[in-house]
Amino acid sequence: MNMPLVRIELFEGRTDSEKEEMIREVTTAMAASLKIDKDDVDIIIQEIKKKDWATGGVTWDKQ
């Protein structure tokens, strides 16, 4: 069975402790909902600069 891989993209600026808390909570939710072991859940976080993300044709550093 393939195990889940969760990719999370978000703006830069969160603290390590905020990201660690999110990782714990997402892992717990995935494991519970899929009835799998927490050790089988992989998470990749990609932090993106606001100048590299746009909505409605405007980058977030200009919104």
Q: Which residues are designated catalytic?
A: 4
Specify whether the CB–CB gap between 60 and 11 falls below 8 A.
yes
